[in-house]
Structure 1
Amino acid sequence: MNLDFTYQNPTKVYFGKTALDNLSSEFVSCGDTIMLAYGKGAIKKSGLYDQIASILKKSGKNIVELSGIMANPTYEKVMEGAALVRENKVDLILAVGGGSVIDCAKAISVSAYCKGDAWTRYWLKFEPVDNEIIPVASILTLAGTGSEMNGGSVITNDDMKLKIGRVFPSNVNPKFSILNPEYTFTLPKYQMVSGIFDMMSHLMETYFSGEDDTTTDYMIEGVLRSIMSSAKIAVKDPKDYEARSNLMWSSTLAMNPIMGLSKTQDWEVHMIEHQLGAYTNCTHGMGLAAISFPYYRYIYQFGLDKFVRFAKQVWGVDETGKTKQDVALEGIDAMETFVKQCGIVTSLKELGATEEMLPLIANSTVLLGGYKVLTAEEVLEILKTAYAQA
């Protein structure tokens, strides 16, 4: 662990079938007015909404609702929520849903009392938050982003065609998060497998960086193997509790800052996908999958030894009689085979991209990079390959 770090995670996690039983005790010290933030009605169909509303009423809370949070939350929606917070003097935002709902809640929490334009200050200029922050809590219904235990918030500005992620300090983390794997049982398969690749991508973004031998790398390899094993079971039986619980916790770990400690990190795949999402509004995990394979085949030689290690330790590739390049590429191939067996999309065409969009996406991508910092021209070549693949 050659890089110094400071680590703090204040989120309390209640995990398992009885996790919701802890909600009323948390409400004791959270103020009188709760904003209930959620998506487009899935929690009402499942009955979870009624359970939460009942607990809120028994706890004597005033309920303010923000519904209709979309899969890629917009700054316009954030401003709608911020106005509700101010008008109703909201004490806590309770986000019920997947990462998009939780991301939106965190964005509202830092934006409601922002002096000036929050988008410009907090997402474009990455200024420190110097205003009152409304506490956030979450009840997770979709595993993938890890937003339930971090300060991340990815928001889309439709007018500017920009999708930008910001990881705020730990004081923006949810104060508590309720994780019951059973809440993910009713998800469509498309959403489930998209979340699976999302969590894998979070791990790979930190893994594919540096040449040192860190404890973090061993942790990432172990969680990736757990995801692979549980994903195969969950695809066949979405109501297998052990598999879904393993995936839910793997997702939380994957985007918990602990999995990036003492790592330089990459995040180029995410930067490209964010702009893909800004133009297509595609499901995040699917966009990551479509970009990952041409991206990794493009940059693997710049971090060859780590890609060899990935192939051997995660995918069980036998290196006997093979070059390092052969082993590295076989690992990427094995991952692609696994992804397709899960039903994860790998084609930009299928995600709604057009050829005309590709240069716009490439030219608006924020270029970071781990083993290689790409140019806009190189991003465009990767996008063209992703567009042509099946």
Structure 2
Amino acid sequence: MHNFIFENGTRLIFGAGCLKEYLASFLERYGPNVLLVTDGSGEGARCGAQDEVSRLLRTGGKTAVECRVRPPCPSSKEARQAARLCREHHVDLILGVGGSAVLDCCKAASLASVCRGDLWEDFWASRGVVDLPPLPVGLVSTAVEVGAVNGAAGLIRNGRCVWRDYPPCDPGFALLDPAYTRALSPRELAAQGFSALAGAMELYLDPVEGTNVPRDLLEALLRGMIRDLRTCRRDPRNDEARGDLMWESTLWGSRFFQLGRQCTFPALPAREAALRFAAETGGGYTDVLAVLLLALCRRLAER
């Protein structure tokens, strides 16, 4: 393995009732102005998390301005719009309520709101130097898959999907209550679980020097994801399996699985192509991802 330094700046709290128990205490650490980033599909509203967060914000004396993000992946335009709201309203905290698209937008906006240049051209596409601390980020998850709490965030522009990993953009806290995923339909539950499984599998198949330990850990994670995804498909109301799947789906994109790699977060061609298709057509992300992943596995097996 190659040399590495691992540091996790996020306080992850998992379990029933964690939103009501902990969010108010976290909010006390930040100023009065909050940007609330929500899922454009209405997922947070359906499960009740968005109403609860709004109530706690009011109770804590916070002033919130809201912006919405379309799943499955935010565009650079959406990130810039969120950053503009941060500057106009002198935001002290970016708080996401939703899944992976919400989290990625929060991370990108936290950087875009303070950077002096163009987010995409100077920092996303060309890996420019960051010389200012990004705005603080917090997350309330309402999805089985929230992407990488501690890892790379994705953005789409002109049909191109790019992931960038900048640890200071990680949320200071992340609250994951599996109860909020009960509002997902069986199809949504299966789609989110499969999306996480596909990402973990692409990462596992990436042949990079120094990945023996991460691959061993990913293999164990993949086995658990397959087991729990099958259980959830048979019984979508199985709280234990859904909670396990939520935690596994949260882990796969963590930079913990990048430790010892010779390079940073790798390209995931099947996931990138499916996200690009969804952004251009407005749907079909997991269907396309399933076809592309099967083709990728078949091609690798024939080598």
Task: State the secondary structure of the residue aligned to 2:183.
Answer: coil
**Offset, 1:131:** 3.2
- For 1:12, give the aligned amino acid: R
**Ranges of 4+ aligned residues in structure 1 off by more than 6 Å:** none
**Offset, 1:120:** 0.8
**Offset, 1:210:** 4.6
In structure 1, C-alpha distance between the alignment counterparts of 2:174 and 2:269, rounded to whole Å: 29
**In the alignment, is residue 108 of structure 1 matched against residue 132 of structure 2?**
no
Matched-pair identity in %: 28
State how many pairs are aligned: 297
Task: State the secondary structure of the residue aligned to 1:129.
Answer: coil
In structure 2, C-alpha distance between the alignment counterparts of 1:299 and 1:239, rounded to whole Å: 36
Distance of aligned partners of 1:285 and 1:174 in 2 relative to their CA distance in 1, 3 Å threshold? farther
In the other structure, the counterpart of 1:47 is: 48
Q: How does 1:371-390 map to 2 (within 5 A)?
A: none
Q: Deviations over 1:113-132 (max 9, x none)?
A: 22122111122112132234
**Offset, 1:38:** 0.2
TM-score w.r.t. the length of structure 1 is 0.71
- For 2:200, give the aligned amino acid: L
In the other structure, the counterpart of 1:341 is: none
**Offset, 1:93:** 0.6
Distance of aligned partners of 1:280 and 1:14 in 2 relative to their CA distance in 1, 3 Å threshold? same
- For 1:58, give the aligned amino acid: T
- 1:161 counterpart (151, 159, 162): 159
**In the alignment, is residue 15 of structure 1 matched against residue 3 of structure 2?**
no
**Higher RCO (C-alpha 8 Å, min separation 6):** 2
Distance of aligned partners of 1:266 and 1:108 in 2 relative to their CA distance in 1, 3 Å threshold? closer
**In the alignment, is residue 228 of structure 1 matched against residue 226 of structure 2?**
yes
**In the alignment, is residue 295 of structure 1 matched against residue 296 of structure 2?**
yes
Distance of aligned partners of 1:123 and 1:212 in 2 relative to their CA distance in 1, 3 Å threshold? closer
Q: Deviations over 1:349-380 (max 9, x none)?
A: xxxxxxxxxxxxxxxxxxxxxxxxxxxxxxxx
**Offset, 1:281:** 4.0
In the other structure, the counterpart of 1:137 is: 138
- For 2:194, give the aligned amino acid: F
Does the CA contact (< 8 Å) of 1:151 and 1:172 recur in 2?
no
**Offset, 1:14:** 0.8
- For 1:117, give the aligned amino acid: D
**Offset, 1:274:** 4.2
TM-score w.r.t. the length of structure 2 is 0.89
In structure 2, C-alpha distance between the alignment counterparts of 1:260 and 1:273, rounded to whole Å: 23
- For 1:56, give the aligned amino acid: L
Does the CA contact (< 8 Å) of 1:150 and 1:170 recur in 2?
yes
Distance of aligned partners of 1:72 and 1:268 in 2 relative to their CA distance in 1, 3 Å threshold? closer
Distance of aligned partners of 1:150 and 1:283 in 2 relative to their CA distance in 1, 3 Å threshold? farther
Distance of aligned partners of 1:287 and 1:165 in 2 relative to their CA distance in 1, 3 Å threshold? farther
In the other structure, the counterpart of 2:183 is: 186
Does the CA contact (< 8 Å) of 1:72 and 1:281 recur in 2?
no
**Structure of larger gyration radius:** 1
Q: How does 1:1-390 map to 2 (within 5 A)?
A: 2-20=1-19, 21-40=21-40, 41-147=42-148, 149-157=149-157, 160-167=158-165, 169-208=166-205, 209-210=207-208, 214-263=212-261, 267-282=268-283, 284-302=285-303
Gaps of 5+ in 1: 303-390
Does the CA contact (< 8 Å) of 2:47 and 2:182 recur in 1?
no
Does the CA contact (< 8 Å) of 1:123 and 1:166 recur in 2?
yes
Gaps of 5+ in 2: none
**Offset, 1:95:** 0.3
- For 2:25, give the aligned amino acid: S
In structure 2, C-alpha distance between the alignment counterparts of 1:135 and 1:5, rounded to whole Å: 25
